[in-house]
Structure 1
Amino acid sequence: MDNFKRREFIKTGSALAGAAVLASTPISSVFAGGTDVIKIALIGCGGRGTGAAFDAFASGQNIKLVAMADAFQDNLESTFNTLKEKFGDRIDVPDSRKYVGFDGYKSAIRDADVVLLTTPPGFRPLHFEEAVKAGKHIFMEKPVAVDIPGIRKVLQAAAEAKTKKLNVVVGLQRRYQTNYREAIKRIQDGAIGDVHAGQVYWNSGGVWVRPRKPAQTEMEYQMRNWYYFNWLCGDHIVEQHVHNIDIANWVKGKYPVSIQGTGSRAHRTDKEYGEIYDNFAVELTYDDGTVVYSQCRHFEGISNRVDETFQATKGRVYLSAGNQAILWDSKGNEIYRHDPKGNPNAYQQEHKELFDAIAKNEYKFADADYGAYSTLTGIIGRLACYTGKVIKWDDALKSEVDLSPAAYSWDAMPKIVPNQNGEYPVAVPGMNTAFYI
């Protein structure tokens, strides 16, 4: 485990402060077939997968979708029809390259130059490992894993991707958003001094629920409702709040040494919400004594908040996904305000920069490292709240708790199943902690 000690995470991760952080090193090959067409495969055909495909086509490069894979036939066909209607002949996916089932990703990856990995995050380590092994450039959505064994798998594949000079972009799109780039560059240049405290938030009303149908197996039900099961989602502190946690790590240029917090199921308590919490409040403590307070919740009818603030020795900063960025000095004087006019769409920008690099035969992106570290921060936050313990970064890295099922098939059983009333076990701090770490 020495290779995964915190100092190694910090040494590697702190250098990855934004996009295009690597030298523009030529890559050995670009497109299959010797043409200027970049062939892409879409692995995961839900809403985010459809959005990622739209963003890829907005890159301005000569892209063609040649393969698709999803566990569900209806998801795949729905996304195919949407894309075909919009992009016409640029969607070249005959039935023979529509792969349905748990293993379809392997075939789809082989057909393409670039793969878009947009399934529920529990599958990300497997799919990323396969894409790297096949020598493909990669866009993968956040988070990149749901448990610590998955994080280790991603880091190992990331190291191999570097040796192969494979561009890897992760969907933490704030890293590609102009206001964040401009403001954090100023912070790291010393505009407000040393950051010593911060607060990051994702407070909203929650997401969809898909009712159970009589003919569904337990595996299908959980797959259809993947957001509410940790082996697929990681809980919303990992799946959603990772964006804000990643900003804390980016601003600090390092990762926490310990994490503590509290959380519960206060409002979304029905069995349809699976096993996840609806609120988390976490403290991220860094090695210089900085404490960043992290809060996320899924409560209906509340005041929503999705943003980040930090205090420093010479001032403070406010950031938000709505293209806001303001820096003040220690006297409250505004020293920088980002102008949001004309800023590119960050979701599209991450694809534009990825495909620009590929088209130019350049190796520029290794996002998997900071994607893994910030995902790990969220996972440790979940474990701290589930167990009620202060968890040190180095100790967490020893975890062998693997949330994935023993087999991937429709008649296989996930590790978490409902009782006779259809209710799923939920973490109770201090009582049932052995399962979690």
Structure 2
Amino acid sequence: MKNKLREPGRRKFFKDAATLGVMGTIGGGYLLSSCNKPGKTTIASSYEAPVFPTKAPDGKMLKAGLIGCGGRGTGAAVNFINAGPNLQLIALADLFQDQIDKCRATLKKNNNVEIPDENCFVGFDAYQRLIDSDVDVIIQATATHFRPMHLKAAVEARKHCFIEKPAAVDPVGIRSVIASGKMAESMGLTIVAGTQRRYQDDYNKTFSMIKNGAIGELISANCYYNRGGVGNFIRKPEWSDMEAMIRNRANWRWLTGDSIVNLMIHNIDGVNWFFEKHPVKASGVGGRYHRPTGDMYDFFSVDFVFDDNKHYQGMCREMDGCTNNVGDIILGTKGYTNGQNKIFDYNGNIIWEYEYPLGKDGQPTNSTAISPYDQEMICFVTAVRTNKPINDAEQLAHSTLTGIMGRESAYTGKDVTWDDIIYSDLKLGPDEYKWGLVDIQPVSPVPGIAVTR
């Protein structure tokens, strides 16, 4: 790989959720021992999990624009509207008119929100026209490939941003996101990322237990994102190559980064969070057998190595007819955790578990009182209104780059280091964005032959 950039100072990228500026406006922490049922282990409290606000504070009207009007974008827009008082969604941008039409219909039917025609923008420049309109905050939920350029434009326009995961599909995009994050920090802007586990109460309580020594020193981890296939894609005759690719983005690596980046980002971000650092090397395998279109792999298995030679294994698969498993195991010298809500000893006994709120039937609901999708927007709006910025850009970029490092190791069949990948000039996708032919063939990388630039 070509290392064309000078190495920047290495800043510890992890930031405790409790140190986020917004948390300072909310109050004290959570006593860890208060979660424990009779007979369960009590862990002495020194690190306290953040207490998230249940609603954003009132303030002047905040007007949001949504870039990317698919299902996740529409959902994120609703989460924003419901985060607190005086919040409006006033503009939409997408590459396709039918996506805007569906989004508008859903918002009208379910939330009585109407977006006027003049605030709906279509095409490759739609994001810029939305950013230049009368919006205060930007919600980004496009195909991952476009995220770095959209974030850069939004920050340059001094707009607060919610940015869905992952950050980018390649190292060039990752460096752009990190730079935009630095620029946003200097401007006092908030960037909240869609790695929602960090805004989910059960994960935060579990993290606090681990931080306070509930399983001893962390040793290793295993994480899994194994699910069914994405199905076949039927191309309409009137679609150009570009339109067909973008509508079929779940199968093209230049648009999503492949499944290890697009899906396992949640697991990778969680493990990196609990270990409070990112790996420095990856050694992976992967391949393709089931997927009928595009150029992505069907499965990955990657050994990630930290700077102290501790390892964790990540497995990702999209195949029908196979055993599904989405979850994590983080192992310590005294026990292990699923990362979300339980801690076990090595005899398999539960020594601590998160207490979920009770439902109307008096039984635990198995979900947090506030969904993480709502919570991340509540924290986003709270940070903006209290002028205590949150900046998740670098955290998201580093977790995404971990996945890219693993992907390139599997593609090439070779070990890939952090320095190899972060300074690589690898850039996926076409040189220009226009409707028509695209010179990208559905050829998957072959390990031992493929080369990462």
Name the TM-score, length of structure 1 as normaliser.
0.89
Structure-2 separation of matches of 1:210 and 1:39: 36
Which position in structure 2 is the counterpart of 1:421? Answer: none
For residues 37-93 of structure 1, give each alpha carbon's deviation from its aligned partner in whole angstroms, at most 9, with x where no partner exists: 1100000011111111111122123111111100001111110111122222x43x3
Which position in structure 2 is the counterpart of 1:280? Answer: 300
Which position in structure 2 is the counterpart of 1:32? Answer: none
Matched, 1:249 2:249: no
8 Å Cα contact 1:241-1:378 kept in structure 2? yes
SS, match of residue 394 in structure 2: helix
Matched, 1:239 2:262: yes
Letter in 1 for 2:175: R
CA shift for structure 1 position 177: 0.9
Q: Which of 107, 111, 123 in structure 2 is aligned with 1:101?
A: 123
Matched, 1:401 2:426: yes
CA shift for structure 1 position 354: 0.9
Structure-1 separation of matches of 2:157 and 2:316: 37
Matched, 1:138 2:184: no
Structure-2 separation of matches of 1:126 and 1:377: 20
Structure-1 separation of matches of 2:170 and 2:160: 24
Q: Which of 311, 316, 329 in structure 1 is aligned with 2:331?
A: 311
CA shift for structure 1 position 305: 0.8
8 Å Cα contact 1:192-1:313 kept in structure 2? yes
8 Å Cα contact 1:19-1:175 kept in structure 2? no
CA shift for structure 1 position 286: 0.3
Q: Give the paired residue count.
A: 405
Mapping 1:304-343, distance limit 5 Å: 304-320=324-340, 325-329=341-345, 333-341=349-357, 342-343=368-369
CA shift for structure 1 position 94: 1.7
Matched, 1:17 2:16: yes
Identify which range, 52-61 or 99-108, moves more after superposition: 52-61
Structure-2 separation of matches of 1:36 and 1:368: 26
Which position in structure 2 is the counterpart of 1:57? Answer: 81
Q: Which of 198, 204, 226 in structure 1 is aligned with 2:249?
A: 226
SS, match of residue 12 in structure 1: coil
Which position in structure 2 is the counterpart of 1:429? Answer: 447
Which position in structure 2 is the counterpart of 1:367? Answer: 392
8 Å Cα contact 2:22-2:383 kept in structure 1? no
CA shift for structure 1 position 331: 5.9
8 Å Cα contact 1:68-1:98 kept in structure 2? yes
Distance 1:4 1:379, change over 3 A: farther
Mapping 1:369-388, distance limit 5 Å: 369-388=394-413
SS, match of residue 13 in structure 1: coil
Structure-2 separation of matches of 1:345 and 1:259: 33
8 Å Cα contact 1:261-1:281 kept in structure 2? yes
Matched, 1:149 2:175: no
Q: Which of 367, 375, 385 in structure 2 is aligned with 1:349?
A: 375
RMSD across aligned positions (CA): 1.8
Structure-1 separation of matches of 2:203 and 2:18: 12
Letter in 2 for 1:67: A
Q: Between the two proteins, what is the percent identity of the paired residues?
A: 38
Distance 1:240 1:20, change over 3 A: farther
Letter in 1 for 2:96: F
Letter in 2 for 1:13: F
Which position in structure 1 is the counterpart of 2:187? Answer: 164
Structure-2 separation of matches of 1:364 and 1:301: 45
Structure 2, gaps ≥5 residues long: 26-58, 358-367
8 Å Cα contact 1:210-1:224 kept in structure 2? no
SS, match of residue 232 in structure 1: helix
8 Å Cα contact 2:228-2:320 kept in structure 1? yes
SS, match of residue 17 in structure 2: coil
Structure-1 separation of matches of 2:232 and 2:290: 15
CA shift for structure 1 position 252: 0.6
CA shift for structure 1 position 333: 4.7
Structure-1 separation of matches of 2:145 and 2:243: 15
CA shift for structure 1 position 3: 4.1
Identify which range, 152-161 or 200-209, moves more after superposition: 200-209
8 Å Cα contact 1:69-1:99 kept in structure 2? yes
Structure-2 separation of matches of 1:294 and 1:405: 30
Structure-1 separation of matches of 2:389 and 2:334: 34
Q: Which of 71, 96, 116 in structure 2 is aligned with 1:72?
A: 96
Which position in structure 2 is the counterpart of 1:297? Answer: 317
For residues 89-144 of structure 1, give each alpha carbon's deviation from its aligned partner in whole angstroms, at most 9, with x where no partner exists: x43x3211111000110111122101100000000000000110011111010001
Structure-2 separation of matches of 1:125 and 1:411: 23
8 Å Cα contact 2:81-2:89 kept in structure 1? no
For residues 402-429 of structure 1, give each alpha carbon's deviation from its aligned partner in whole angstroms, at most 9, with x where no partner exists: 113111110252x423xxxxxx111100
SS, match of residue 377 in structure 1: helix
CA shift for structure 1 position 334: 3.2
Structure-1 separation of matches of 2:235 and 2:110: 32
Structure-2 separation of matches of 1:314 and 1:174: 24
8 Å Cα contact 2:20-2:390 kept in structure 1? yes
8 Å Cα contact 2:411-2:446 kept in structure 1? yes
8 Å Cα contact 2:21-2:383 kept in structure 1? no
